[in-house]
């Protein structure tokens, strides 16, 4: 039984705490949701701004593979602009073995803050993604030797020595944040999976392009797939956004309000230098405004179920909801939110609670005959 729910761990952790314990927390959380039957856990890669502490997500994936049994573990994502494609492919195949086929390779161009430290402009990031992606796909899931020379990597009769564990191949996903059509079109071109971020308030940097909504991201991917003779599967479309569930709506908002404020204004505002608040929204209503805009789900079980159903309506349907874990509240309250998601939200989304209820209804109806 699939929950249709996963985790997306950038991971970001508020400064001022022990970074060692913060990293350990990520592994503990993945182990916890594995027991709760979450489907996936994605690990991001960041090198700047202080909050994103994990620069080598493959090490966490490897560690998590030994502490979990059924959850799929994913790169979220490998910035191909900063890695030699052969090394990306080699690590992917090793992780495919360590997880026994539970690994997903997520790729993207990379975040601009890290790129600046590496001396890369955004156009270069995207060009490198386009150059490296078909090479990685062949190395990971193909059988041919590759000879390729670019201005940043060179391959001569390259082929991995280790066969992949998964005979059907490793699933490859491309991340898109809705800032450009290029990633959705790459997804369509190669028939890959798509992971979308529903974080519109993080994209208000002055001069940034208008946000491409989720439905249009899929539309661009489908158009590209048709042009290149590929097919896409909505079941392999993930949408990531922050989610917090509590017994009541009031409790849920109270749980995360202060942490959300620090995450929004200290991390995205001060550290990242982004314009995070619309002029017509007062700071004390920033969280409500984000939820209303579709950038987060906060509330009771009923509220979150309704929010997920709205997401399906506006997108035309997708596969998995990835809970973006932003450390907005205590670990205990986060764990409780995950439990509520698994026990009460997921069954209503997947329909897995229907048969037990049907048995009750049948028993009652039978006695009335």
> Which residue, chain included where needed, has tokens 């000879």?
147
Q: What is the pTM assigned to this prediction?
A: 0.96
Q: Quote the Cα angle for 140-144-148, to 5°.
A: 85
pLDDT of 235 reads: 97
- The HSE-up count of residue 68 (CA atoms within 13 Å, CB side) is 32
Percent helix, strand, coil in the chain, to 5, is 50, 15, 35
pLDDT of 208 reads: 59
Task: List average pLDDT for each run of 10 residues in the chain, which is 369 residues long.
Answer: 94 95 97 98 97 96 98 97 98 98 97 93 95 98 98 98 96 93 97 89 55 94 98 97 98 98 94 85 93 94 98 97 96 98 97 94 91
CB 43 within 8 A of CB 76: yes
pLDDT of 273 reads: 87
CB 61 within 8 A of CB 103: yes
pLDDT of 200 reads: 57
CB 331 within 8 A of CB 25: yes
Residue 192 CA to residue 140 CA, distance in Å, equals: 13
Q: Between β-strands 72-75 and 103-108, what pairing exists: parallel, antiparallel or unpaired?
A: parallel
pLDDT of 210 reads: 74
Residue 41 CA to residue 76 CA, distance in Å, equals: 9
Residue 128 CA to residue 152 CA, distance in Å, equals: 8
pLDDT of 202 reads: 46
pLDDT of 201 reads: 47
> Which residue, chain included where needed, has tokens 């874990």?
325
pLDDT of 81 reads: 97
In the chain, what is the straight-line distance between the N-terminal and C-terminal CA atoms, in Å? 34
């Amino acid at each position: 039984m699939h929950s249709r729910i996963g985790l997306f761990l950038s991971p970001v952790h508020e400064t001022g705490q022990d970074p060692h314990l913060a990293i350990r927390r990520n592994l503990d959380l993945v182990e916890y949701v594995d027991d709760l039957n979450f489907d996936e856990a994605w690990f991001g890669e960041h090198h700047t701004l202080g909050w994103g502490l994990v620069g080598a997500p493959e090490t966490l994936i490897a560690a998590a593979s030994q502490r979990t049994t059924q959850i799929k573990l994913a790169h979220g994502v490998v910035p191909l602009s900063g890695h030699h494609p052969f090394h990306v492919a080699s690590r992917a195949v090793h992780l495919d073995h360590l997880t026994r086929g539970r690994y997903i390779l997520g790729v993207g161009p990379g975040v601009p803050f890290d790129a600046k430290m590496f001396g890369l402009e955004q156009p270069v990031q995207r060009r490198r993604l386009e150059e490296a992606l078909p090479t990685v796909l062949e190395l990971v899931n193909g059988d041919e030797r590759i000879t390729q020379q670019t201005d940043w990597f060179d391959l001569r009769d390259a082929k991995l020595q280790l066969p992949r564990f998964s005979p059907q191949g490793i699933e490859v996903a491309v991340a898109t944040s809705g800032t450009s059509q290029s990633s959705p079109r790459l997804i369509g071109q190669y028939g890959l999976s798509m992971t979308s971020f529903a974080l519109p308030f993080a994209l208000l940097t002055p001069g940034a392009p208008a946000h491409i909504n989720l439905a249009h991201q899929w539309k661009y991917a489908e158009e590209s797939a048709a042009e290149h003779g590929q097919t896409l599967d909505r079941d392999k479309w993930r949408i990531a956004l922050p989610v917090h569930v509590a017994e009541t709506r009031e409790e849920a908002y109270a749980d995360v309000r202060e942490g959300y404020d620090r995450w929004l204004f200290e991390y995205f505002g001060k550290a990242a230098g982004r314009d995070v608040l619309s002029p017509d929204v007062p700071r004390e209503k920033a969280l409500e405004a984000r939820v209303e805009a579709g950038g987060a789900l906060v509330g009771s079980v009923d509220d979150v179920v309704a929010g997920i159903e709205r997401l399906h309506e506006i997108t035309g349907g997708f596969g998995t909801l990835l809970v973006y874990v932003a450390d907005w509240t205590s670990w205990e309250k986060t764990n409780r939110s995950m439990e509520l998601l698994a026990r009460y939200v997921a069954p209503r989304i997947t329909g897995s609670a229907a048969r037990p209820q049907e048995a009750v209804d049948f028993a009652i109806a039978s006695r009335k005959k």
